[in-house]
Each structure stands twice: as structure tokens, then as C-alpha cells.
Amino acid sequence: MAGVRSNGTVVAVGDNSNGQLDVSSWTGIAEVAEGYPGYHTVGLKSDGTVMAAGDNDYGQLDVSSWTDISQVSAGFYHTVGLKSDGTVVAAGRNRYSSIEVSGWTDIIQISAGEYQTVGLKSDGTVVAVGQNSSGQLEVTSWTDIIQVHTFENHTVGLKSDGTVVAVGRNTAGQLEVSSWTDIIKVVAGADHTIGLRSDGTIVAVGENDEGQLNIESWTNMIQISAGIEHTVGLRSDGSVLIEGFDQYNIVEKVSSWYLLDPIQPTNLVAVSGDAQIQLSWNIIGNADHYIVKRSNTSGGPYQIIASNIVEENYTDTTIINGNTYYYVVSAIVGDIESELSNEAYATGGSVYTYFYDEDGRLMSIIMPTGESMVYEYDQNGNLMRSYIQE
């Protein structure tokens, strides 16, 4: 199993008997595709070229000459690529004519299954070649399709109105999708089908022998994927959820993945005290830890003064009273650092005391000089004036 991180690197876990997980050196990757059932891995680079690792018994890795590729997909022993001009290239085993795609045109999306390949045309119709033992290629009557996916013995299509159509093997009810609505993406597993709804929740039908359908509690999902006996989802905060067969301990390993850039801390506040400055901030999403940086001038350059901070606060005791310090904080997930927070500053030894009324309005501030800044409001709570009172 492989995933692309927001920095263009790839993480992978599972069986590596064919070297299909040897992707740690890949960079600049925009998307990855795994061959069914995981014997090879294909990566599309942001420059439109393609990389591949794993089993190459049938030439399915012979993609180094491909250019201008906008999407890749991998089947059992074949790999297909969608070119920016709407044509399709393919490499690998041609069993059941599964790579006979050279005549396709006006294609906007592709999906490779076990021994079949499906293409979505710009007019919303679908073309397909390859194995049709369970009727998984019976898609020629489909219209108004905006996304397709095939895996082993069934094919699913998402219509422009958010409904779903499906053909192929239905031994476990994996085609029972006619009642689905508000779907924005649909994927096929070996014997199950998963749909992502517009509200970030998931619907699922089909085989559940390994718990691959136990995903009804998932929320805030932005991406989904299905395998032989597992289901994977990406949440809006970048975390990854997985249910299903735990071969090679992939469930535990994938659950620790974080594929999106961590969100930068917000609302950084610096409060001065005697020989110390206290910092606090807010965070949206997950973070393994935080890094605190400081400068003597606004805008930096900043130097790291603390790392591996696990709480949303920190006290800097390495200051000199009377000096002003400027701070920023970043969040770390794995080895990815977020953008910097807002800058906050304070002067060492400058203690301010704030007073609020019962409605939470700021009434006065006692400054280190002993003076007070006083705030006056009208009867509607609007600030009328502020002044310094000695």
C-alpha cells in the first residue's frame, strides 16, 4: 500500500517481495497507483513522467519513456497512462487484450483492473477492454459519467447527479448502489464498493468478512481507496483511516500516516513576565510536536529555541528584561513542517495587567510604567474613547 505525501514523497507498507515498496527515494510525485494485488507500484511525477517499482515479469514497469502523462493506473500485470492530449498508453501483459487502448481518444480518466482497462470519455460515456467474465465491461450504455473505477470483477461509475451505476460480479451485493445519492467519488474493491458523500461521510456495500465496511463512523473524508479486503480514507486534516485485513500489520502502520502538510499554528500570543515570556497558540488538526523560533527583529531571521514541544504553550526563560523578542511557531507531523504561525512579540520584564467587565469588554490595562490605559464605551457597547491615566 502506498500514499503520496504533500511534499511529493511516497510512503509504502506491506509485502515487498518484488521490491514494490522501494519508493522511498521518489520525489516530485503527484499520484501513485498500485497494481492488483500490489505486486508493482507506479508513480506519476509532476513533470508528466512516470516511475515504477516491483514485479516486471510482463514489462509492466517499462514506463520510463512516457511523457505528458496526467494520470496513471495499474492492473494485475499491466500499467496504463493517460496523456494530456486524451490518448492512452499501456505497458505489460496483454491478456484478454487489456492493453489494447492505443485507439482511444478524448479520454479524461482511466482505471485499470485485474485484466481490464476502463476509460472515461469527455462526453460522459465509457469505453473498456479486457476480461469480461462477470460483465464488468458492460458499460457502453452509461452516460453522464464523471468518474469510473474498476478493480477485480466489477466496475462502478459516478454520474453527474451524484448517483452511482455498477456492473459485474454481485456475489456479495457490491453492486447494490442504486440508492446512493450525493456521491462525489466511488471506488471498487475486490468484492466491495465504497462511496464518498459530499458531506465527507462514507457509504459502503459488499463483502465485510475482514471488517472492510466498518467505516460508518468516518467523517470529514476527502479521499477514499479500496483494496482486496480493506478500505482506506484520507481525512481533511491529512490523517489516514483504514479498516480491513491486517496482513503485514498495514492497519497499524497506515493509521500513523499523515499525508497533507500540517496546518500552521494560529493565534500565537506572547505575554511578558519578569525574566520570561509566555507563549500560547491554537492548532487545527494533528501535530506530533511544535518548534518555537525567535528573532530580535520583526520578520526574522528566526532561530530555533525549542523543539519537540507537545503542548500548545511554551515559556521562554532565556530572555533579558528590557529586550523585545519576536516569535513564530510551526507544527511538525512526521518529518514535514508546517508554515510559520503569525508573529507575536513581547518585551522582557514588561508585565501588563488586563481588566474586563462582566460582558468581556476590556476596561483598562495597567502597564509596566504604572500608567493605565482606560477604555470607555457607550450604552450599546461601542468603544467611545481610550486614554492614558497616570
Q: What is the pLDDT of residues 32-50, one digit of tens each?
A: 999 987 799 999 999 999 9
Q: Which residues contact 73 (CB under 8 A, 6 or more apart)?
A: 33, 42, 79, 80, 81, 110, 111, 112, 117
Q: Please name the helix (run of DSSP H) or strand (run of DSSP E) that holds residue 250, with its range, or none.
A: helix 250-255
Mean residue pLDDT of the chain comes to 93
Separation of alpha carbons 181 and 172, rounded Å: 21
Return the minimum-mean-pLDDT range out of 98-107, 109-118, 164-173, 317-326: 317-326
Separation of alpha carbons 72 and 46, rounded Å: 12
Which pLDDT score is estimated for 354?
76
Which pLDDT score is estimated for 113?
97
User: Higher pLDDT residue, 260 or 110?
Assistant: 110
User: pLDDT per residue over 195-239, tens digit each?
Assistant: 999 999 999 999 999 999 999 999 999 999 999 999 999 998 788
Residue 259 has pLDDT above 70, yes or no: yes
- What is the location of CATH 2.60.40.10 in the chain? 266-348
Which pLDDT score is estimated for 168?
99
DSSP string, 182-213: SEEEEEE-SSEEEEEETTS-EEEEE--TTSTT
Write the burial class of residue 179 (CB in 10 Å: 0-12 exposed, 13-18 middle, 19+ buried): exposed
Which residue in this structure is represented by grid cell 467505516? 215
Which pLDDT score is estimated for 25?
96
Which pLDDT score is estimated for 322?
85
Mean per-residue pLDDT, 76-105 = 98
3-state secondary structure of 152: coil
Which pLDDT score is estimated for 193?
99
DSSP letter (8 states) at residue 265 = P
Residue 369 has pLDDT above 70, yes or no: no
Q: Domain 266-348 maps to which CATH number in 3.40.640.10, 2.30.110.10, 2.60.40.10, 3.30.70.60?
A: 2.60.40.10
% residues pLDDT > 90 (the chain): 75
H helices present in 120-249, as ranges: none
Residue 367 has pLDDT above 90, yes or no: no
Which CATH number describes the domain made up of 2-256? 2.130.10.30
3-state secondary structure of 255: helix
Structural contact between residues 187 and 224, judged by C-beta atoms closer than 8 angstroms: yes
- What are the Cα distances from residue 348, in Å, to 96, 291, 299, 309, 342? 75, 21, 18, 22, 19
Q: Which residues partner with 183 through β-bridges?
A: 197
User: pLDDT per residue over 68-85, tens digit each?
Assistant: 999 999 999 999 999 999
Residue 277 has pLDDT above 70, yes or no: yes
For the chain, the residue count is: 390
Which pLDDT score is estimated for 368?
66
**pLDDT classification of 302: cutoffs 50, 70, 90:** very high
